[in-house]
Structure 1
Amino acid sequence: MAVLDGMLAAAGNAAHRVLGGGFADLTPWPRELVDSGRARRLYHCDSAETGAPVLLVPPLGVPDSPYDLRRGCSLVEHLAPQRPTYLLDYGPMGFAERGLGLEHWVDEVLPAAVDAVRERTGQAPHLVGWCFGGILSVLAAARLDVDAIASLTVVASPFDFTKVPLLMPLRPVVAATGGHVFTPVYRALGTIPAPLVRAVFQISALDRQLTKPFAVAAHLHDRDYLAQIEAVERFTATMTAYPGRTIAQIYHRFYRENALAQGSIEIGGTRVDLAAAKQRTLLIAGRSDTIAPRRSVAALLDVLPDAEVEFTTAKGGHLGVLTGRAARTEVWPLIDRHISG
């Protein structure tokens, strides 16, 4: 009987998919814009008024949707009933933003967002950063007073770029050209365009892209699975550009010099020592993440000697570890416990 029910569900879902019907509820969680500036939009999500506030920090190159992927699989939806929840967004990036470097986010955007949350709630926020958002959170924490941020949660953020196999094939080309093979590209374009950002994300999970039709066919009976696929496709389609100056810094400082793993990096003419970030830190790596593999993420342990750091791994790839279906039971409870601790 269960087999028959599954076959009937698969047939119904297949018909629904062919007719163009959607499975995911992509309605954003209600929010209000409470602060803004250049490449900075801070939203207060419709959330509880009591409890420790949380500030969600996305990476560049994507909208804020990783934190609010879809109803039923939204970290915002999970956090909002428990505590004041704030979401940072950077808006679209174009040629006019080509001169913005890391220092803009580390010294202006994040401090302004932290100050706004503290002013509204009377408390230092707990920062949750995914991917590059985690790196920005650590760098900002190293620049701010230790009591400005209550704690850090860093998810799928690579801190040792020599431990990212995806980047290894590029090293001989970089070495042969003295490191300047990509320089003409970002200088000419002013940005790394959204289609290229999208392509890199898709290439990082090429095996899943190639097998996705088979996986969908095998899960046609599972509406929640199909909804997740649909939500990830929407997220990928809405990726944005990277400013040229920031890309140059990432390329030369993160990739060529591997400065993050060494614990010190020059940003905008100022030296930032990561060890100055002394907040309690929860560090999470996805077990099948190719963009930020376990060893690359774990490198942060070596450069935060004075912080209480808990490191763990969880099921999922680069996006899935934050907002996949398993994250609801594996990762989100860890974040709850860390913030409440």
Structure 2
Amino acid sequence: MSTPALFDPKRPFAQRRQAVVNLWDFLVRRGIADLTRTPSEIIDTGRARRLSRYTPKPGIPPVDGPILFVPPLGAQSLCFDLRQGCSLAEHFLLGGRSTYLVDYDEVKTADKDLGIEFWINDVIPAAIRRVSEEHGGAKVHLVSWSLGGLMSVGVAAVHPELPIASVTAVGSPFDMSKVPLMRPLRFIGKATGGRVLGTGIRAIGSIPSPVVSLGFKATAIPTYLRKPMKIWSKRDDRDFLAQIQAVDALMNNMLAYPGRATLQVYLQMAMRNEVATGKVQGPNRLVDFADVRVPVMVIGGSADVLAPVPAVHHAADILPNSAEVRLEVAPGGHLGVLTGAMAHATSWKHMDQFLADHDEA
């Protein structure tokens, strides 16, 4: 019979000692992960937005083609800078890329009526223009995650005049009918005409940040139930425990969702699945994804339950006029495909190649 104790005699002494140190640091001390943020400075601000420029690495020759990170609403922009040693921001800086981040402020009472069109028409375009100005009018690569990918493609559709070199969308679901996790919500919405959840969202004005965090965690309940056993089985893997700590820090610090934007996501994306048709009716105009001309790459996570690969790769069906639609698959769940422990050898390599293929001459 196997010994469940830390000091399993079948395990090498060095491994047992490392397991003790790891668990002590992980559970008792302040943790294992180095959550020091990659240095950056704010270069522009506006309503509900901040534009930051990451500090270039000294001694690394610069590469043409600046990058702008576009996070989703509600999620901390830390998704692009999860921890030292597993930071997409640091990865691009080490490759010589000028890297920027458009970040969103915490939702205030006055912001509850903001819809997604505000980010598509104001926040993201303003950031793109400023980054382009910083580089003498150069075109900007958009690198986005989750809903940020849908917003980035929407910006490319609505604003063809913007200096956009390419769009990379990681874990972005372009067809909600292919997301099994959404079927109960869609069923309830169809049965009630969308009134139950819609009325609740209108009543509270916005989705508080603790509720947003809980919602993200609820999409991975099996993972959270298995978490104690997983930590135990990986107790001698310090990097794995550091990743767990960093992901928890992200999930516990989500931002509030503006009520109107939440209602749009619920009714137009989840209920009516408008994105999958390639046409989304905005408050002032129709957003037609056929108007996208720039190259687009989408990356689906092989274990992503929020944005399964078929939902992500549906982009190819609604972007008929894009210069290129590149479809990739990488290991990981919704966050792991963007910044998991193996992302440096999978997703990030896809990004490096795609950006290099579409840099301006």
Task: Output the TM-score relative to the length of structure 2.
Answer: 0.92
Shift of 1:269: 2.1
Q: Percent identity?
A: 41
Residue equivalent to 1:67: 80
- Which of 288-297 and 168-177 deviates more? 168-177
Write out per-residue CA displacement over residues 137-181 of structure 1, whole angstroms, 9 at most, x where no aligned residue: 000011122662001111000111111111101233212211211
Q: Is the 8 A contact 1:95 1:189 kept in 2?
A: no
What code does the residue aligned with 2:128 have?
A: V
What code does the residue aligned with 1:197 have?
A: V
Q: Is the 8 A contact 2:186 2:270 kept in 1?
A: no
Residue equivalent to 1:51: 64
Residue equivalent to 1:315: 331
Q: Is the 8 A contact 1:94 1:191 kept in 2?
A: no
Alignment of 1:323-334 (within 5 A): 323-334=339-350
Write out per-residue CA displacement over residues 244-300 of structure 1, whole angstroms, 9 at most, x where no aligned residue: 111111111111211101001111221110111111111100000000011111111
Partners of 2:221 and 2:110 in 1: CA distance:
32
* SS of match in other structure, 1:152: strand
Q: CA 1:254 to 1:18, structure 2 compared with 1: closer, same or farther past 3 Å?
A: closer
Q: Which of 208, 226, 230 pairs up with 2:245? A: 230
Partners of 1:66 and 1:102 in 2: CA distance:
20
* SS of match in other structure, 2:333: coil
Residue equivalent to 2:222: 207
* SS of match in other structure, 1:80: helix
Q: Which of 256, 266, 270 pairs up with 2:281? A: 266
* SS of match in other structure, 1:210: helix
Write out per-residue CA displacement over residues 29-48 of structure 1, whole angstroms, 9 at most, x where no aligned residue: 11110111111110000126
Shift of 1:62: 1.4
Partners of 1:30 and 1:231 in 2: CA distance:
18
Q: Is the 8 A contact 2:129 2:162 kept in 1?
A: no
What code does the residue aligned with 1:96 have?
A: A
Alignment of 1:103-182 (within 5 A): 103-122=117-136, 123-145=138-160, 148-182=163-197
- Which of 189-198 and 224-233 deviates more? 189-198
Partners of 2:142 and 2:305 in 1: CA distance:
24
Q: Answer yes or no: is 1:36 the counterpart of 2:50.
A: no
Residue equivalent to 2:32: 23
* SS of match in other structure, 1:91: coil
What code does the residue aligned with 2:318 have?
A: V
Residue equivalent to 2:6: none
Write out per-residue CA displacement over residues 67-93 of structure 1, whole angstroms, 9 at most, x where no aligned residue: 000000000010013111001100111
Q: Is the 8 A contact 1:146 1:279 kept in 2?
A: no
Q: Is the 8 A contact 1:146 1:278 kept in 2?
A: no
Shift of 1:50: 4.2
Partners of 1:61 and 1:256 in 2: CA distance:
20
Residue equivalent to 2:89: 76
* SS of match in other structure, 1:181: helix
What code does the residue aligned with 1:311 have?
A: L
Q: CA 1:90 to 1:18, structure 2 compared with 1: closer, same or farther past 3 Å?
A: closer
Partners of 2:44 and 2:249 in 1: CA distance:
26
For these two proteins, the number of residue pairs brought into alignment is: 341
Higher-Rg member (1/2): 2
Residue equivalent to 1:89: 103
* SS of match in other structure, 2:65: coil
What code does the residue aligned with 1:277 have?
A: V
Shift of 1:186: 1.3
Partners of 1:96 and 1:226 in 2: CA distance:
40
Residue equivalent to 1:101: 115
Partners of 1:240 and 1:187 in 2: CA distance:
18
* SS of match in other structure, 1:51: strand
- Which blocks of at least 5 consecutive residues in structure 2 are unaligned? 1-9
* SS of match in other structure, 2:196: coil
